[in-house]
Structure 1
Amino acid sequence: MSILSTEHLKIGYDEKIIVEDLSFTIQSGKITTMIGPNGCGKSTILKALARIHKAKSGCVYLDGKAIHKIPTKQIAQKMAVLPQSPEAPSGLTVFDLISYGRSPHQKGFARLSDRDKEVIEWALKVTGLVELRNQDVDTLSGGQRQRAWIAMAIAQETELLLLDEPTTYLDMAHQLEVLKLLKKLNEDENRTIVMVIHDLNHAARFSDRMVAMNNGRLMKEGTAEEVMTVGVLKDVFHIDAMIVKDPRTNKPVCLSYDLVELGKDIDNKNGIAQEIVFV
């Protein structure tokens, strides 16, 4: 079942077109990850899906309804968005940050209701931040800070979470910590998650679906096994990749790679660069 979809979407800035004629669907209850080289349009697509950036033409549909026709507050009750490298005002506590996630459910400047406080406590517990509730956000470690922003997003109680590079600037352990949290939210809370990730192996490990983009075009979408192939990675990243199966997860892993050299092509079957003879 589709929760979010695009139809012939055209996105750009002024006269520059970033994405043209994009049509794809996000399946409800799944984790979908967008991959692709820098500047290919991933973050722009995410902004268009969230109605942060207006498309030049085409349409985004949320639950089958054109998103530009849905009131902003209704969208915020359905979809939470976590941008890349968000910043909190100085002196803001973890509890205060998470409380902002309740805004779509409040009227005017009303105080936190019992229900609001209940959800905030739940978000603190799920993200492992109970003991840090009164600590300033700007004093947290990278992983703690990212969990705090995720806690704010899930406090919106939305079915859909959109995250732009949620593991950026985090070390290996904190990256895994954040991704495992998102996976748990997906499995335990049935949250539909759409995220942009640069690490191909993380994308393959934690995704149900992958969307590979390049030059504003959808190159391939499907399962990790369908997208993490020698041929697709060559077309998307121009690399000669060696793909193996992870013994822990049975998901495909890019073990090693090199740049595809001029005048060479990839044997899609075994991942070996073979020289082309031009006659």
Structure 2
Amino acid sequence: MIRLTTSKLDIAYDDRLIVQDLNIAIPQGKITALVGSNGSGKSTILKTMARLMQPANGSVLLDGKSIHKQSTKEVAKQLAILPQNPTAPDGLTVSELVSYGRFPYQKGFGTVTKEDREVVKWAIEATGMSEFSDRPVDQLSGGQRQRAWIAMALAQETDILFLDEPTTFLDMAHQLEVLQLLQKLNEMNNRTIVMVVHDLNHASRYAHHMIAIKKGTVSGEGSPEEVMTHEILREVFNIEADIIPDPRTGVPLCLPYSLAGEPIANKVAFGHEKVLQAAGA
């Protein structure tokens, strides 16, 4: 089932066209990862699909209707977005931050209802943040902060969640903490998740669907096995890489060893053949 699509989408900054004639479909109930080199347009695409940017031409369709022609509150009941490096006011507690996710459902002067409080409590529990509910967000670790922001997005009770590089500036343990949480949310709630990811191996491991972007156009789309190919890695990232199966999950792993076009002699440096043998490739 497909609920979210783009149709002939053009996106521009001033007079400079960043994305042209983009047509993609986001699988419902799956995790989709947008990947590409810096400046490829993937974050711009995400922001436009999440209604943070207005397209120059074309449309983003949710259930067949343009999201840019719907009211802000109506869209906010259907999709939530966690932007890159969000910041909260000093002293704002986790529970206060998460309660902001109830804005689309509030009327009048924003009175908090019993239902709102129950949803906020559920979102905090679902993200494993109960013990930090009264702690200021600015006193949390990087992974804990990301979980608090994800809880706020969950409190919107949307079927679709957008995240722009949710693991940026996090160490490896906190990256796994956030990605495993997203995986759990997808599996338990059948939530559609669309995220921009820098690490190809994270995308391959946690996403069901990958879209490789180069200069605002799609260079590859499909399962990790369909996108993590030598040809697409050369075209999109300008790298040569060995692709081996993850020994635990079987999904493809990318082991870069040179820039595309480098002399053959450089491509056997650092004993990458021994690495392949050890990995069973």
Report TM bin, short chain: over 0.9
Counterpart check, 1:99 vs 2:104: no
> 2:277 aligns to what?
none
Find the aligned partners of 2:117 and 2:220 in 1 and give their Cα distance: 43
Task: Call closer, same or farther: CA 1:214–1:263 in 2, change over 3 Å.
Answer: farther
Find the aligned partners of 2:108 and 2:256 in 1 and give their Cα distance: 54
> 1:115 aligns to what?
115
- 5 Å matches for 1:235-274? 235-261=235-261
Identify unmatched segments of 5+ residues in structure 2. 265-272, 274-281
Find the aligned partners of 2:167 and 2:257 in 1 and give their Cα distance: 22
> 1:125 aligns to what?
125
> 2:151 aligns to what?
151
Checking the alignment, whether the CA contact within 8 Å between 2:120 and 2:155 is kept in structure 1 is yes
Give the drift of 1:108.
Answer: 2.8
SS of residue paired to 1:34: strand
Checking the alignment, whether the CA contact within 8 Å between 2:103 and 2:110 is kept in structure 1 is no
> 1:49 aligns to what?
49
SS of residue paired to 2:11: strand
Find the aligned partners of 1:26 and 1:160 in 2 and give their Cα distance: 10
SS of residue paired to 1:250: coil
Find the aligned partners of 1:120 and 1:130 in 2 and give their Cα distance: 10
TM-score by length of 2: 0.92
- 5 Å matches for 1:1-279? 1-261=1-261
Instruction: Count how many residue pairs are aligned between Structure 1 and Structure 2.
Output: 266
SS of residue paired to 1:33: strand
Give the drift of 1:67.
Answer: 1.3
More helix by share: 2
Checking the alignment, whether the CA contact within 8 Å between 2:30 and 2:191 is kept in structure 1 is yes
Find the aligned partners of 2:59 and 2:119 in 1 and give their Cα distance: 33
SS of residue paired to 2:20: strand
Give the drift of 1:262.
Answer: 5.8
Identify unmatched segments of 5+ residues in structure 1. 265-271, 273-279
Find the aligned partners of 2:53 and 2:123 in 1 and give their Cα distance: 28
Find the aligned partners of 2:169 and 2:99 in 1 and give their Cα distance: 25
Give the residue type in structure 2 aligned to 1:163: L
TM-score by length of 1: 0.93
Give the drift of 1:27.
Answer: 1.0
Considering only aligned residues, what root-mean-square deviation do their CA atoms show, in Å?
1.4
Find the aligned partners of 2:231 and 2:149 in 1 and give their Cα distance: 36
